Chain A
């Protein structure tokens, strides 16, 4: 396999982008990415979208995107793994380049979510769950994570304050991110007292409904060296794993096997351990999710995610900074775009270009993208060389 570098990143602002269509968002992110890379070559496109059909009625992004990028005839494919679709797009692009099949591949993540009502968006998101045996009963995604949150609180004594601190920390980070949907800070009291969505999770425990797109351009590391634009950022590890689609069928509701396996596979490929990681972008679709991910990846022992968060372990200046971008919570969560946007943040940090949210001397980043309630996960290790 060839070494694969990220030679360009680009993303739209995340938020309720009423004037932008799904094609506008894809083109805007891709253009930003090409400008960043400074090259005009494109061999192939991978597109991650969870449900462009249910959110906008538009399938066949594999034709729409190259067409409106002015790249007719370029091969393109859409990949889907629910909220991990973006991570899958990057992984697919990586495989094309690493294998020698293509040289310059654009990975785009997209979701345009605000063209439907809240109820319809909730329904569309719930299609990532088992349709016949979970969603049939009226469960929502906040509901699935709320069941895990209740179990975590009852088994480990995790508190509402600890959960809320995930949101407080991520909003603090996101307040320094110009792309963020909600770049404001919140207090734990505000989180706990916001409107109840699915007990025990409140509105501010949940990531929002978001429009947005993100793109990265990958190429052989050798080619990247010749381009000589800023520090070289290389994807040194990729891990991918799956788990049961229904949370009722998990051996342990509070251990996300797909996350443990994806991260250990990615770290193994990169020849690293979790201690080598300088910071992580993880899938905090709900506050409890960030805690479960920390525990499942082995950053902290089971049950310690809450206290560790309250102690500042994952803060920007902590020993293991998590979600310097603001995470899904503050930056926003256009589901298919999220996995790509995580890579964008990793590269921005590794370039030292993250401004007020910069983690000093960041050299090794981990991004963790999750589908559904943990039914799939993709982890990337990105290193500055």
Chain B
């Protein structure tokens, strides 16, 4: 991923900024310009809580290029308390005891980097919400 593409997404990657439809209140992450629920095209920016539950997940053992140092790692779909579902890595977890339904909380982590000399891309990952 090149720098401009990453930079453009910073409000979403760093702060979980979503779009709330002013007509039907549906929250979309990533934000959209047309509401798939009602067709409206006016939105308010809202920040998601980053708290939710794991709905499904897998452990990536054969990673794509750029992720080999992190493997094996968990990727899952988290349903946030606002009802928004999003995909992210589950980090700081024991991949053998992770289970669906586990409470999750978003943390700020390194997602990937462009080699040892390139830009570092940060964003959200989830960790089991165990009070730390």
Q: How far does the alpha carbon of A119 sit from the alpha carbon of B64 in the complex, in Å?
A: 5
Chain A positions within 8 Å of B61 at CB level: 195-199
Asked whether, in the complex, the Cβ of A133 is within 8 Å of the Cβ of B64, the reply is no
Asked whether, in the complex, the Cβ of B58 is within 8 Å of the Cβ of A147, the reply is yes
Q: With A132-B5, A148-B56, A151-B56 as given contacts, are A138 and B62 in contact (CB-CB < 8 Å)?
A: no
Asked whether, in the complex, the Cβ of B56 is within 8 Å of the Cβ of A123, the reply is no
Asked whether, in the complex, the Cβ of B62 is within 8 Å of the Cβ of A151, the reply is no
A136 contacts partner chain B, Cβ-Cβ < 8 Å: yes
Which of A126, A132, A137 is packed against the most chain B CB atoms within 10 Å?
Answer: A137
B70 contacts partner chain A, Cβ-Cβ < 8 Å: yes
Q: How far does the alpha carbon of A318 sit from the alpha carbon of B30 in the complex, in Å?
A: 45
Q: With A119-B68, A248-B86, A249-B85 as given contacts, are A137 and B56 in contact (CB-CB < 8 Å)?
A: no
Chain B positions within 8 Å of A140 at CB level: 60, 62-64
Name B40-81 residues within 8 Å CB distance of A.
Answer: 55-68, 70, 73, 75-77
- Counting contact residues on chain B (CB < 8 A from A), the size range is 35 or more
Chain A 196-215 interface 0/1 with B at a Cβ cutoff of 8 Å (1 = within): 11111100000000000000
B114 contacts partner chain A, Cβ-Cβ < 8 Å: no
Asked whether, in the complex, the Cβ of B60 is within 8 Å of the Cβ of A248, the reply is no
Chain A 79-96 interface 0/1 with B at a Cβ cutoff of 8 Å (1 = within): 000000000000000000
Asked whether, in the complex, the Cβ of B77 is within 8 Å of the Cβ of A253, the reply is yes
Cβ of B74 to closest chain A Cβ, rounded Å: 9
Majority-rule SS of A interface residues: helix
Asked whether, in the complex, the Cβ of B57 is within 8 Å of the Cβ of A147, the reply is yes
Q: How far does the alpha carbon of A117 sit from the alpha carbon of B65 in the complex, in Å?
A: 9
Asked whether, in the complex, the Cβ of B87 is within 8 Å of the Cβ of A146, the reply is no
Asked whether, in the complex, the Cβ of A133 is within 8 Å of the Cβ of B87, the reply is yes
Quick one: which of A138, A146, A199, A200 contacts B67, CB cutoff 8 A?
Answer: A138
B107 contacts partner chain A, Cβ-Cβ < 8 Å: no
Cβ of B66 to closest chain A Cβ, rounded Å: 7
Quick one: which of A122, A146, A200, A248 contacts B63, CB cutoff 8 A?
Answer: A122
Q: With A136-B112, A136-B123, A138-B112 as given contacts, are A147 and B77 in contact (CB-CB < 8 Å)?
A: yes
Chain B positions within 8 Å of A147 at CB level: 56-58, 75-77
Q: How far does the alpha carbon of A14 sit from the alpha carbon of B33 in the complex, in Å?
A: 43
Name B85-100 residues within 8 Å CB distance of A.
Answer: 85-89, 100
Provide 8 A-B residue pairs closer than 8 Å at the C-beta atoms, listed in order of the A residue.
A138-B75, A140-B62, A147-B77, A148-B56, A196-B61, A247-B77, A248-B85, A248-B87
Residues of A at the B interface (CB closer than 8 Å) are: 117-120, 122-123, 126, 131-140, 142-143, 146-148, 150-151, 154, 195-201, 246-249, 253
List 11 extra interface pairs beyond A199-B59, A199-B61, CB under 8 A. A118-B62, A119-B63, A120-B65, A138-B64, A138-B66, A138-B67, A138-B73, A138-B75, A154-B56, A249-B85, A253-B55
Residues of B at the A interface (CB closer than 8 Å) are: 1, 5, 9, 12, 30, 55-68, 70, 73, 75-77, 85-89, 100, 111-112, 121, 123, 125
